[in-house]
Amino acid sequence: MTDHRTATGDPTTAEHVQDDELAVYLYGVARGLDPAALEGAVGVAGAPVRTVSAGSAGSAGSGGLTALVSTVRLAEYGEAALRENLEDLAWLEATARAHHEVVDRAAHAAPTAPVRIATIYRDDARVAQVLAEQGDRFAQALDRVAGRVEWGVKAYAHRDALEAAEPSEPAAPEPDAGAQGAGAGTAYLRRRQQERRRRTDAGRKVSEQATAIHDGLAALAVAARHHPPQDPKLSGHAGVQILNAAYLLDEDAAAAFADAARAAGERYPGIEVELTGPWPPYSFIDTTAPASETETETGSGAGSGAARDGVRR
């Protein structure tokens, strides 16, 4: 899921970068973007945003593919630094917000394929090379999402939906002798079995409701994708997250989809449905080039969804 590139010539030196060593942060790739649409745009770490094309590093191609990039310091975005920073929720949120703002601004001006946050390359020339080598792949991704947007849906089960799944602590049987003691012990075990059964039944019911919500919304979408449950520290919800999914929609289908999501939230007592969007199609693009011999993956856990989740708090 991850693809964070270090920009060092020798991967073994990634742990020992200097403060002044620089790299190029890639936000995404647009097609037919007028560079003027990004005039004054600021990206991660307050860095200005510029464009790189396949034909000429540092300039935008006319009607072709354009990479959206900023210059960053390896001291913050190198392999070792990213392993630490991506565990810092405040840093991750700030980076995700900045990443999203750049992608969103470009997407309002031209079809745009976002890449995962913290995708780092050695220099502009390497970015231009990736565009040239992966041009067909980017073009296919852009064809798929042109005229479409992503909407996110999360569903949470609250106490009135889960109450049956929460066994109350049974009172211990009063000590007794003989048959009375045996009978009390049997009753205690029976109560425990009933509580386990209620808990299992409630869990199954909530799972079935989540599936029904997803199936109904997916029927309205071009494509749908499940995501892992979100960290409660990011979601800010007390309920148990039972659905975290993204849906790719034609722009003219968004209103009907939003109505269906709200109706689903009203249909099931104790289930809260949260709708967010429209977003650039973060969940429906896989455009990351493979690492070269001088670019290595960090293996950290932030993916494209972090750009959405980081701005939803």
Over residues 126-162, the pLDDT tens digits come to 999 999 998 889 999 899 988 899 999 999 988 666 6
What does the DSSP 8-state code read for residue 222? S
Instruction: Give the closest residue to 239 by CA, choosing from 138, 156, 135, 297.
Output: 156
| Cα 150 from Cα 248, distance rounded (Å) | 5
Whether residue 286 contacts residue 72, with contact meaning beta carbons closer than 8 Å, is answered with no
Beta strand pairing status for 65-73 and 223-226? unpaired
Rg over alpha carbons for the chain, rounded to the nearest Å, is: 25
**Exposed/middle/buried for residue 300 (C-beta within 10 Å: 0-12, 13-18, 19+):** middle
| Cα 297 from Cα 8, distance rounded (Å) | 12
Partnered with residue 274 across adjacent β-strands are: 154
Partnered with residue 51 across adjacent β-strands are: 68
Q: Which stretch of 5-19, 33-47, 64-78, 256-270 has the lowest confidence by average pLDDT? A: 5-19
Residue 22: what pLDDT?
93
Percent of the chain's residues with pLDDT above 70 = 68
Q: Which two tokens stand for residue 278?
A: 């429209």
Over residues 200-222, the pLDDT tens digits come to 666 678 889 899 999 999 999 99
**Exposed/middle/buried for residue 198 (C-beta within 10 Å: 0-12, 13-18, 19+):** middle
Residue 58: what pLDDT?
43
> 232 preceded by cis ω (within 30°)?
no
| Cα 107 from Cα 139, distance rounded (Å) | 15
Residues 24-43 as b or e (16 or more Cβ within 10 Å = b): bbbbbbbbebebeebeebeb
**Residues 6+ positions from 278 with CB-CB distance below 8 Å:** 149, 150, 151, 249, 251, 254
User: If DSSP codes are grouped into helix, strand and coil, which group holds residue 260?
Assistant: helix
| Cα 308 from Cα 99, distance rounded (Å) | 10
Beta strand pairing status for 271-279 and 65-73? unpaired
If you average pLDDT over residues 229-242, what whole number do you get? 76
Residue 158: what pLDDT?
80
Mean of the per-residue pLDDT values of the chain: 78
Whether residue 117 contacts residue 95, with contact meaning beta carbons closer than 8 Å, is answered with yes
Instruction: Give the closest residue to 288 by CA, choosing from 163, 118, 88.
Output: 118
Residue 299: what pLDDT?
30
If you average pLDDT over residues 185-210, what whole number do you get? 72
Residue 69 reports pLDDT greater than 80 = yes
Give the amino acid at 193.
Answer: Q
